[in-house]
Amino acid sequence: MAEKPEDKKKEEPKKDDTPKDNLVISKHKVKIAGKLIKYTVTTGTMVMKEETFDKDKDAEIEKARAQIFFIAYTRDDVKDKSKRPLTFSFNGGPGSSSVWLHLGVLGPRRVVLNEDGTMPPPPFKLTDNEYSILDDTDLVFIDPMSTGYSRPVDGEKSKEWHTFRKDIQSVGDFIRLYATRYKRWLSPKFLAGESYGTTRAAGLSGYLQERHGMFLNGLMLISSVLDFTTLDFNYNNELPYILYLPGYAATAWYHKKVTSRLSFKEFLKEVEDFALGEYTLALAKGDALPKQNREKIAEKISRYTGLSKEFIERSNLRINDQHFFKELLRDRAQTVGRLDSRFIGMDRIGVTATPEYDPLFAMVNGPYTAGFNDYIRSELKFETDLPYEILSEKVWMNWSYGVFENQYVNVAETLRSSMTFNPYLKVYVANGYFDLGTPYFATEYTFNHLMLNEKLRKNISMSYYDAGHMMYVHKPSLKAMKKDLTKFIKDSI
């Protein structure tokens, strides 16, 4: 018996579950330096694909691997994109989203804090950022894997991206894809990174050149760390004890734990000379240092840091950063911050060796989190129920530096090589005097040991601010930073 047509089952159309870009475009305006700037914001996720070998097809195929979240700001009145600078920005961690530079200094909207950077009472709010650099450059804020709204596609595991090498590759490949899709290959290009973001930026300067043939005009390194040797307090590494000393002295000066007839900068210069002179020689001698010399060194350190001579001698002349945070203001039952030592904390008990928390993060976490979560939906009209990962602990706790096995992480050589192959590459370095996460003196040491050709040293410029790691939370430093960044961008093109 023949089948009736109606007896045949209708085939359901196959559902297309291929990941797709999810972008929202909105229009805005802001007044910067007294001039009205109209701009477009592109917000959302871009699908990142990688070539993989398909055994069944016996061929290379493109496979979706990740969905990277970004926010791009482009000025509307630009007729020739090839003359308009483009800056890609990210923060550090590793495991941090791009929110800090985005809503702190670079973007057209800014989190409202008190003048000194302390937290105002909640509820928090945003305001137009008259110190944004959007008048000078278009901006693309990138959230690396597992930060912000960036996630792997179904079936992929995020931990693959939580490595030094894969992180640089994925961010670099995003930059290439963005420049391709939005026709920005001929634009002057910059990278802006903060903290570990400076490590990433230096690594990217090499990766973009070597893998994609993309040459940059400049790097903006904010609170820089390129050589982890300068920061790792270890029994067989004397460098951090030497390079943190001027930062300790600056902190002691700020909290009035030291007295000097010299000005602040003159005082720091004296400490710097001591650190690289007498102190370095003393540590190099180790236990062979004569007792008389040891006492003399301890007395000087005490005079510069505000710590007691007895504490310094018990510390074997070597002041660990965590101990300093707890000890300096112990008599006041207070601690000083790592990221900004101007700020003070209050621990449950005063007899422990290390502080319980960092006061700067406690000040900024709430305002930035609330500000971004409202901004993304209310103003940029991007909607998702995913949590925006401001700072992902699971990332930085499990980060792999496998490529640097049995050695300290160091991208200073990558930067030197990039500047050598591209002699037009300029580097701006922002330092906070009260940053004890990436101290200014450690940064100076790194750049003084780049072994860079003398002709290229003029391509490096450094600025110093009376604040800490996130110097832009301090209103006077934010104003100064705007001027410095504007000058750097113009000088670099």
Interval 264-269 mean pLDDT? 98
Tell me how far apart the alpha carbons of residues 106 and 32 are, in angstroms, rounded to a whole number.
Answer: 12
Q: Is 182 exposed, middle or buried (0-12, 13-18, 19+ CB in 10 A)?
A: middle
Greatest distance between any 2 Cα atoms in the chain: 112
Q: What was the pLDDT predicted at 60? A: 72
pLDDT band, very low/low/confident/very high, at 426 (cuts 50, 70, 90): very high
Residue 94: cis peptide before it, omega within 30 degrees of 0: yes
Tell me how far apart the alpha carbons of residues 439 and 468 are, in angstroms, rounded to a whole number.
Answer: 9
Confidence check: pLDDT of 336 > 80: yes
Tokens of 102: 């985005």
Helix (H, G, I), strand (E, B) or coil at 113: coil
- Interior CA angle at 192 toward 190 and 196, to 5°? 140
Tell me how far apart the alpha carbons of residues 194 and 283 are, in angstroms, rounded to a whole number.
Answer: 31
pTM over the 0.75 mark: yes
pLDDT in tens, 136-187: 999 999 999 999 999 999 888 999 999 999 999 999 999 999 999 999 999 9
pLDDT in tens, 61-118: 788 889 999 999 999 999 999 999 999 999 999 999 999 999 999 999 999 999 999 9
Domain boundaries in the chain?
A: 22-229+364-492, 232-359
Instruction: Tell me which residue of 307, 273, 246, 267 sits closest to 439, measured CA to CA.
Output: 246
Helix (H, G, I), strand (E, B) or coil at 464: strand
Region of poorest pLDDT, from 47-56, 81-90, 183-192:
47-56
Contact 446, 414 (CB under 8 A): no
Interval 369-391 mean pLDDT? 97
Average per-residue pLDDT for the chain: 95
Close Cβ partners of 423 (under 8 Å, ≥ 6 residues apart): 455, 456, 459
Please report which helix (H) or strand (E) contains residue 143, including its range: strand 138-143
| CB contact burial 208-239 (16+ within 10 A = b; e otherwise) | bbeebebebbbbbbbbbbbbbbbbebeeeebb
Tokens of 156: 């992929």
Q: What was the pLDDT predicted at 9? A: 55
- Render 193-223 in DSSP notation, one character per residue: EEEHHHHHHHHHHHHHHHHH----SEEEEEE
pLDDT in tens, 428-474: 999 999 999 999 999 999 999 999 999 999 999 999 999 999 999 99
Tokens of 265: 């900068």
Tell me how far apart the alpha carbons of residues 359 and 356 are, in angstroms, rounded to a whole number.
Answer: 9
| Helical axes 412-421 vs 196-212, angle rounded to 10° | 40
Q: What was the pLDDT predicted at 258? A: 97
Are β-strands 218-224 and 189-195 bridged in parallel, bridged antiparallel, or unpaired?
parallel
Candidates 3.40.50.1820, 3.40.50.300, 3.60.40.10, 3.50.50.60; correct CATH number of 22-229+364-492?
Answer: 3.40.50.1820
Q: What was the pLDDT predicted at 61? A: 73
